[in-house]
Amino acid sequence: MSNPQNMSILDAQGECGGAHMATRPGILGWLDANFEKPFLAVGMLAIIFIITFQTLYRYIGVHMHEGASAAIWTEEMARFIFIWISYLALPVAIRNRSSIRVDIIYDRLPKRFQEMSWVVVDLCFLVLAGTVLWQSLDLIKMQIEFPQTTPALQISYYIPYLVLPVSFGLMALRLVEDLFAQARVCGLKDTLLALAACAALAAPVMLAEDLEPLPVLFGYFAIFLAVGVPIAIGLGLAALATIIAAGTLPIEYIAQVAFTSIDSFPIMAIPFFIAAGVFMGAGGLSRRLLTLADEMLGSLHGGMALATIGTCMFFAAISGSGPATVAAIGSLTIPAMVERGYDKYFSAAVVAAAGAIGVMIPPSNPFVVYGVSAQVSIGKLFLGGIVPGVLTGLALMVYSYWYSKKRGWKGEVRVRNLRTFTRALWDAKWALMVPVIVLGGIYGGIMTPTEAAALAAFYGLFVGCFIHRELNCGSLYDCIVEAAGTSAVVIVLMAMATIFGNIMTIEEVPTAIATAMLNLTENKIAILMLINVLLIVIGTFMEALAAIVILTPILLPIVLKVGVDPVHFGVIMVVNLAIGFVPPPVGVNLFVASGVAHAKIEHLSKVVMPLIAIMIGVLLLITYVPALPMFLAE
């Protein structure tokens, strides 16, 4: 979707150049460009409706029909559909070249080497896709020979597992298609050089015997990141290289875990929260929140900046995503601030910093991922994020007020009274109900976080289509496909990180790192400071969800040994990685705000530094005064 209000995290990361596959004319061209998308749209709507039905039926249906019991098939069916759409979205991501990847080296390469790198990336991805395809066919064959049925639906297990050969087969086709297109761009000579680079990359694994697993695992992962291979695929390929070189696990394990690792009801909260944010942004709720915030704060010095931060805090309770918050709110507020006389760079910097609150205030996808990775209560993590999010917002407001007063940026002079406030509040009532539904449902013991997320997505869909009527069939279809694609890349990242993490556990990497750090110092303050620095640096260069699934198994044992509560550490980790969205040179919020404002990154980087310093101050406060974030969670 080209509208910046509807940018996803993938768009924020940037679709890198190269030979995007041209759309051919006619019905074949349409099928080539859109084959997977109708399945994604139908699947996403299905799981939203199924889990919403499950939640409502538990409290309404059983009372309306005597002898009825809670639906037992809904969760299992929703999980299987969720796995199908997660993997079917990857061929779309391949075609669009939208992925979570580290571009810091790619962006500095000459154009010729950038084009060659795509040949390397496609070939690496093709190796993993081919391996999973091959192994999944063996897995399906075994399940047909030795049939087992699912507990609730009573269908053979090979039916849901068919997603692996179908989706990875489609990925392989998309990759081959992209390879041919990229070879035409590069020419024969550069294509052969890229093939030679791939052969050199594979040679140590294929030719050497009895390699040490850890150098292979981390060495190949670092190389894949540097080359520009998507992080999820880099994790899977590094694990595959280690399995081949060191025999750490049977190779059949990869296909099995690709399914079982995401066959999880709590993980389903991620696509639901993403869908809720997309529906509400496109359905006009973010605009109404901005009007309410402007009514409350717009008369003060820097009123529009204060309203922007306040809107980001409200929208954070809807979207659960930093870049999505920046895109949705920035497209409305940055032009409005510039029109009222604010400096363009300050306007963009405020939105970039305030957008980080999107992953602190619940619902928050990073908290969901950390909760699953660390096996701690997602509900407690949501409560733990409220205080850091509010403190960050208030601190940014204080700075914006002072800076605006210094520059003479006064609020908009117009009539503001109880009547205008009441009108703005009434217009925003549907948006303000979302936190009530989500948090009230979870902490009232009515719903699980996943059910609350599904209900929020259904609510956003209903309000956008039937109350505000700003979602029509075309825009709704685009929103659903966007939400499915955005969530799928995150889900597959978790699947590949599970394989990577299991190898780390077998090789006792977390234990070794914990021992080394505790040998360096057992001082709790020093260890938390070292971890904070590490997380901010990593968060600047790596997407937050990827960092959580990779680092949680490594860092959690360390903080547990010095007496840090795992919920408190989850809050620390997410706030760190939220700040990492902002700093130059690769902070994703900064890039999104820069694109919306048409502002140069180098100038924007200077203006945003004081805001980053303020956010780090809040981070240190919640790190060393655990009562602040924990008093709600406890």
Query: Could you write out the DSSP letters of every residue in 191-216?
Result: HHHHHHHHHHHHHHHHH--S--HHHH
Q: Residue 619 corresponds to which tokens in the numbers above?
A: 């981070």
In this prediction, residue 528 carries a pLDDT of 93
Instruction: Return all residues near 334 (Cβ < 8 A) that are at least 6 apart.
Output: 344, 347, 348, 351, 593, 596, 597
367-426 pLDDT tens trace:
988 998 899 998 899 899 999 999 999 999 999 999 988 888 876 667 778 898 899 899
pLDDT of residue 171: 95
Residue 237: what pLDDT? 94
Residue with tokens 């900046």: 305
Q: What is the pLDDT of residue 323?
A: 66
Per-residue confidence (pLDDT) for residue 318, from 0 to 100: 63
Residue the block writes with tokens 């539904």: 437
What local confidence, expressed as pLDDT, does residue 9 receive?
34
CA distances from 1 to 8, 30, 94, 589 (A): 9, 17, 16, 18
Residues 236 and 499: their CA atoms lie apart, in Å, by: 7
Would you say 430 and 463 are in contact if contact means Cβ atoms under 8 Å apart? Answer: yes
Which pLDDT score, from 0 to 100, does residue 46 have? 96
Low-confidence ranges of the chain (pLDDT < 70): 1-25, 61-71, 100, 316-324, 328, 411-413, 541, 585-586
Residue 246 phi/psi, 5-degree rounding, is -115, -5
302: left (phi over 0), alpha (psi -120 to 50) or beta: left
- Please report the pLDDT score of residue 597 as a whole number: 79
The answer to whether residues 278 and 463 touch, using CB atoms and an 8 Å cutoff, is no
3-state secondary structure of 445: coil
Query: Given phi > 0 = left and psi -120 to 50 = alpha, else beta, which region is 564?
Result: beta
Strand partners, 191: none
Q: Which spans in 247-364 are helix H?
A: 253-260, 269-282, 285-297, 303-319, 322-339, 344-355
Separation between Cα atoms, residue 132 and residue 140, nearest integer Å: 12
Say which amino acid occupies 616: I
Nearest-angstrom CA–CA distance, 543 and 339: 33
pLDDT attached to residue 594: 78
Which tokens go with 261? 């690792």
pLDDT at 355: 85
Q: Rounded to 5 degrees, what are φ and ψ at 226?
A: -65, -40
Return d(Cα 52, Cα 73) in angstroms, integer. Answer: 13
Count of Cβ atoms closer than 10 Å to residue 149 Cβ? 11
